[in-house]
Structure 1
């Protein structure tokens, strides 16, 4: 095989075409001249037959061996899969005014969040646009564990550094806030209906104590102590497990026995879309507000009234008056719609919006998509048309998620 042929076969475009996953999902944040980062599990992936592709500046597994994306998808829906998400940025925020700082940086109500509970949130710019989506876990009033996206790493860290400087120089006079990036820590996601029973076999900790959106430091077989948060990106029951440097491979090996199967980016994308979850860079960006994105629920009740967070002016105005567009789910007939496809009114052909993510759904057997549509045209059941390969395909606006979530709530 020639070198040029090998690069073609291993290119993100070729894999995207074969697995029907949008190329942008793999190429975002990557330039040809960039040296790809590697997670602590890179060698482990290669040894297990992973097909590695560029994603968010990292070399990440798309699939493993001869197990295709659809088969991996079904395995997570019926049994359990393990994803390497160590490319995500894990951080600790500590300090007397950590709660107040993060309530300025995000629109979430963290004061009322119970210890060892988590919430989805967003980092907003001054205009209310989403810089990134994030999971915030409160360990104590002065200690938070925060996970942000790899593709936004440099921008997020620069923004946080700038806002920390402003805070510690002024608003945070009662006590500075410190930010620690957990470099080289592992992060894996164990997802699926058999995830809990398998993980329980490795620990004396009663996992029934952990409900969706809660976390704990948990001892597991082999003398390891890991941070486990119940939740994930698939809509299934599962856990995101943060692991100390130098222990990631050993812990991951423990977690990948039958019935758990190593799972890559291909299945991760189709699972999250069926679950109605956004992918930053596709469904969210700095021109999109949480109100437009259908994420108003991450904004605390009192914060909707009082504001006090970056970007509040725009967000509160949209909450009161309504946004110009809204994120919607669609089922498209005939052929799958991809990112960038136009949404139009079927009779007048008026352009109403655009598709941001779309796939043939392995679970439902339908062509599903998410996108943004003009306010007033967003009601479920509305008939629209989507331009696919220069043809207008009938589509119906459908409530999210496409597949019912199976979170464990006790």
Structure 2
């Protein structure tokens, strides 16, 4: 029997199914969400790495932008090339504030006569208000609150989903298409948050449970909770907004320079023109940021958790852990955090304070596992 927390929280269209499957439900971003199922977090994590996992991510915000200049309008809010995003493609983007801090990270897909935007659950009200206030006249913003969002992730995801809709097999990483799955009109991208191949599928709420039951009937696919989603994304070096990214952290500090399109940088033809551009472009030009997000590998088996302080060999505080867990795939503690740039080089030794003890860690390359996105 599922553990149920509070009737005051929002529920996704899959709430009853989660309960039926024996999920432990917890509050997350204003919703009751499944943190794990009877299989347990470690086995759910490994099942996703070896076969395929299904995640309910319907708490995320889905938005449709229409208007002749929707791409150009959205480009004024992000340091990313939206105008030249090809039809049928999706791109990672950042909302920045006037100080160059990251307000949220998001996904943007071009459907030709409209733009599809997916924002983080905890930031969606802020993000929607931000877009409404700043996109300008002639841009219509529709919140798709009659749709759910699920993810199917893992090396067997394509094989399992293609059994139901063969067309998905022809997609490659960051493709985004409208297609019918068992008679239901869906928005589907070949992308995800685990480092594995997989898909994210937007489904009308009324049809979601039926389709999800069909997906779970496939022998490769198991229901996976937020606990394993977190350890999977951390092994893959992917940020969690509100932990590894926040509105005081610039893209350069967050090691996300790759998320600033070349045409938006100082030498690009469409350089600047987004909130905080002066600070961000100055950091690119002068390399003058003082802290950096890095990967950290623990030497023992004890996980190093968020908020653990980091020290150098002389016991000087040099940073803080922003995400940390034990990585079931690599069988070692994995973390990411921010350190003074002088300590950000690969293989630098640092020490995390845990219950009064200084545990050795090494600055390491991320992702900690090989990402297996399908690029064709």
- Which TM-score band (shorter chain)? over 0.9
CA distance in 1, matches of 2:121, 2:328: 27
Using the TM superposition, give the Cα deviation of residue 177 of structure 1 relative to its aligned residue in structure 2, in angstroms. 0.8
| Other-structure match for 1:393 | 359
Q: Of 166, 170, 180, which residue of structure 2 is paired with 1:209?
A: 170
Is 1:242 the equivalent of 2:208?
no
Q: Of 116, 128, 136, which residue of structure 2 is paired with 1:157?
A: 128
> Normalising by structure 2, what TM-score?
0.95
CA deviations on 1:209-228 (whole Å, 9 max, x unpaired) are 2100111122222x122111
Using the TM superposition, give the Cα deviation of residue 50 of structure 1 relative to its aligned residue in structure 2, in angstroms. 1.1
Structure 1 contact 291–315 (Cα < 8 Å) conserved: yes
Structure 2 contact 162–169 (Cα < 8 Å) conserved: no
Structure 1 contact 232–240 (Cα < 8 Å) conserved: yes
3-state SS of the aligned residue for 1:151? helix
CA distance in 2, matches of 1:391, 1:320: 40
| Other-structure match for 1:17 | none
| Other-structure match for 2:224 | 263
Is 1:231 the equivalent of 2:191?
yes
CA deviations on 1:216-273 (whole Å, 9 max, x unpaired) are 122222x122111001000000000010131111111111122200000110000000
Structure 1 contact 81–260 (Cα < 8 Å) conserved: yes
Q: Of 88, 92, 98, which residue of structure 1 is paired with 2:60?
A: 88
Q: Of 311, 325, 331, which residue of structure 1 is paired with 2:297?
A: 331
1:10-49, aligned counterparts within 5 Å?
Answer: 35-49=8-22
Structure 1 residue runs of 5 or longer lacking an equivalent are 1-5, 12-31, 169-175
Is 1:77 the equivalent of 2:49?
yes
Is 1:384 the equivalent of 2:353?
no
Kindly report structure 1 stretches of 4+ aligned residues shifted beyond 3 Å: none
> Normalising by structure 1, what TM-score?
0.87
Structure 1 contact 137–146 (Cα < 8 Å) conserved: yes
CA distance in 2, matches of 1:228, 1:179: 20
| Other-structure match for 1:98 | 70
CA distance in 1, matches of 2:44, 2:368: 18
CA distance in 1, matches of 2:29, 2:282: 33
1:54-73, aligned counterparts within 5 Å?
Answer: 54-64=27-37, 66-73=38-45
CA distance in 2, matches of 1:351, 1:389: 16
1:233-382, aligned counterparts within 5 Å?
Answer: 233-257=193-217, 258-305=219-266, 306-322=271-287, 323-334=289-300, 335-346=302-313, 348-382=314-348
3-state SS of the aligned residue for 1:357? strand
CA distance in 2, matches of 1:35, 1:390: 39
3-state SS of the aligned residue for 2:141? strand
Structure 1 contact 214–230 (Cα < 8 Å) conserved: yes
CA distance in 2, matches of 1:229, 1:404: 21
CA RMSD of aligned residues (A): 1.6
Distance 1:219 1:10, change over 3 A: closer
1:160-175, aligned counterparts within 5 Å?
Answer: 160-164=131-135, 167-168=136-137
| Other-structure match for 1:108 | 80
Structure 1 contact 62–265 (Cα < 8 Å) conserved: yes
Structure 1 contact 40–184 (Cα < 8 Å) conserved: no
Using the TM superposition, give the Cα deviation of residue 375 of structure 1 relative to its aligned residue in structure 2, in angstroms. 1.4
Is 1:145 the equivalent of 2:106?
no
Using the TM superposition, give the Cα deviation of residue 10 of structure 1 relative to its aligned residue in structure 2, in angstroms. 6.4
3-state SS of the aligned residue for 1:144? strand
Using the TM superposition, give the Cα deviation of residue 208 of structure 1 relative to its aligned residue in structure 2, in angstroms. 3.4
CA distance in 2, matches of 1:59, 1:163: 31
CA distance in 1, matches of 2:32, 2:192: 21
CA distance in 1, matches of 2:321, 2:52: 30
Structure 2 residue runs of 5 or longer lacking an equivalent are none
